[in-house]
Amino acid sequence: MKLKNTLGVVIGSLLATSSLSVLAQGQGAVEVEAFAKRSFTESNRDVTNGNLFGGSLGYYLTDDVSLNLSHGVYESIESDLLPGGSGEKEIDGHLSTVEALYHFGTPGAQSLRPYVSAGFGHQSLDNTAERGKDKTTFAMVGTGVKYYFNEVFFAKAGVDVLHSLDTEQTEWQAGVGVGLNFGGNTKQVAETVEAAPEPTPEPVVAEEPAEVVRVELDVKFDFDKSKVKEESYGDIKSLADFMKQYPQTNTTVEGHTDAVGTDAYNQGLSERRANAVREVLVNQYGVEGERVNSVGYGESRPVADNATADGRAVNRRVEAEVEAQAK
């Protein structure tokens, strides 16, 4: 069918476009989607189940709430009875909707975001057996899930329940879709392939003229990760041993990110990184919890150029410093 062929071209275009650039998700983002749904009718309009093909446009009012407009065209719907007799014939029709979606989870690449939705729709069918042209307004609720393969391209599956305000009949639809997120507070990155992170420097213990000794910690992280890598455990242990040697000392573990992603997402990621290092100090190496604080600074304190992969690798870090008077 011509409509199905057009939908295939749209999906292919979405896949191609998703490789062009990396854009941040979140508030202010715009999403476009192509979808296919199976419509299950439970009405008094003498029509069979059918397929709905179309597209939608959404705008994120916040990081989690979007307002979506959609329009779809029905195919494969048939009338059970012809006017004045028996038989079947195809019915033309379309459905337009406006819905608000609330998304759970955190925006970002390789993220799974369940959602719930509510809104209204207007359906128009031609050539039905009972009334010829049939129009009705629906109140709608739905649920589903989106998976973001990267910051741009996502796939969606969901179920919608439609209750007619005109006939008090209830129908439902199940469908899938693919789409693109065009970013809110957009930060376009020149390149997306990251170089291997630089080796973690060994903690430096320096003795100053005033008999002050200090140990510094610098732990690097993989892109969009907050898990402490095995090669960093030795450096964290050195900090823990120093704090045990000087029990009057305290420290603050500071988490940082590169500039890829929204400010809100990077703030949360930096806090998770700082907490991960704190957990190793406290739970694995026995430093008292009240002696170790953690704080995240997001992307606000870069120490290298975020325009390069090497610079971003340096900025994905957790730092800590402890100073004590030598005996």
Give the per-residue pLDDT at 23.
47
The confidence band for 191, taking pLDDT boundaries of 50, 70 and 90, is: very low
pLDDT of residue 275 exceeding 90 = yes
Question: What pLDDT does residue 132 have?
Answer: 58
Per-residue model confidence (pLDDT) at position 106: 82
- Domain 205-325 CATH superfamily: OmpA-like domain (3.30.1330.60)
The predicted-structure confidence for 204-259, as pLDDT tens digits, reads as follows 655 545 467 888 889 999 999 999 999 999 999 999 999 999 999 999 999 999 99
User: How deeply is 152 buried, as exposed, middle or buried, from its count of CB atoms within 10 A (0-12, 13-18, 19+)?
Assistant: buried
pTM higher than 0.95: no
- Cβ–Cβ < 8 Å for 45, 39: no
Mean pLDDT score across all residues of the chain: 81
Residue 85's pLDDT band (boundaries 50, 70, 90)? very low
191 within 8 A of 294, measured Cβ to Cβ: no
- Do residues 268 and 296 make contact, with C-beta atoms less than 8 angstroms apart? yes
CATH T-level topology, domain 2-181? Porin (2.40.160)
Candidates 125, 122, 161, 140; CA nearest to 45 is 125
284: which 2 tokens?
A: 């694995």
Task: Give 13-72 pLDDT, tens digit per residue.
Answer: 544 444 444 446 778 889 999 999 998 876 555 566 778 899 999 999 998 899 999 999
**Alpha carbon distance 85, 22 (integer Å):** 58
First to last CA, the chain: 85
Q: What is the reported pLDDT for 67? A: 95
Quote the pLDDT of residue 28.
87
Predicted local distance difference test score (pLDDT) of residue 42 = 63
pLDDT of residue 145: 95
Percent of the chain with pLDDT over 90: 53
What ranges do the domains of the chain cover? 2-181, 205-325
CA separation (Å) from 148 to 12, 225, 274?
Answer: 17, 16, 26
Q: How many Å apart are CA 107 and CA 186, to the nearest integer?
A: 13
Q: Where are the alpha helices (DSSP H) in 206-281?
A: 233-245, 263-279
